[in-house]
Each structure stands twice: as structure tokens, then as C-alpha cells.
Amino acid sequence: MTSDTVLLRCKACRTLNRLPAGKMRDRPVCGKCRASLAFPVSPVSATDSTFEHEVNDWPMAALVEFMTLWCGHCRMIDPAVNDLAARRAGFLKVIKVDVEREPGLSSRFSIKGTPTFLLYLNGRLLARLDGAPKAHSELEDWISQTLMKHGPAFR
């Protein structure tokens, strides 16, 4: 498999599909069952039982935000996080974890404050960012710089 190819698991039949990275936005379908290989265009919520699936079954970069609904910094950075999910759909999956509803995940990742961001690539943790960036563009810059060090360029 080349770096221009991604593996995407079908949610319907669980078949692993090999796709050219450039075709991710062309509404790909599963080669076996013909179901849509849809990807999220907005942040998805993860729980203790779905976290591994959300992160490990995604073939590209995944940004996990540990947050709370009442946190002022979380609410301030929320538009940037939502915008990233929409603009980078198919390449960056944004996952949100509410630390009050998921204390097990918060403990597992030693979350001391919100927001805390974890960046994964192919299920492997690359970096952690504690606190909200001062400017919205700083979050995207952090993601881009981290991915350039560890893998394919952020598109």
C-alpha cells in the first residue's frame, strides 16, 4: 500500500476497503456490499465503549478533544474545532469526549483540565496539547506541524 492509499472499514459489513487518498471526497462505496463509505463532516462523540473504534478504525488523522459543556475555553475553541471537522472531512476525524460523562477515559489519559487535545495517526498517539490555543489558527498549525513530523502532510 502506498502513502497515497487509505484503508477504510465499511460500517455495514466491516470489510476493509483500499482507496486512493484523492478519492476520499468522491462518495466512495464498499467494494463488497456497495454501502456508502461515509466519513464524518462534524465532530463525533466518543464514550468509553466507542473510543477505540472511533480512533483505531479511522485510517487518517484523528483529533480527540476532551472537553466539558460549561468550560469557557472549550466553548471559545469550539467553532474552530467544528470548522476543522468540516473543512478536513475525509482526512481529519474530530472526536469529542465529555470528561464529566466519561470519567474513565479522563482518568486513562490523565486529563487534568479542559480542553485537552490528542492527535492520532492510524490509531497511534502522536501528540498532546493541554489548553486552548490563543488563536483558532494555532490549532490547525499544531496539527499540521505534528503530522508533517510523523506522517503525510495535512491536506
Contact criterion met (CB below 8 Å) for 102 and 47: yes
Cell numbers at 107, concatenated: 482518568
108/3 Cα distance (integer angstroms)? 31
Q: Catalytic residue at 74?
A: yes
Question: Which residues share a beta bridge with 5?
Answer: 20
Cell numbers at 83, concatenated: 470548522
**Which residue has 490528542 as its cell numbers?**
118
As a three-state string, the secondary structure of 112-137 is CCCCEEEEEECCEEEEEEECCCCCHH
7/5 Cα distance (integer angstroms)? 7
User: Which residues form the catalytic set?
Assistant: 71, 74
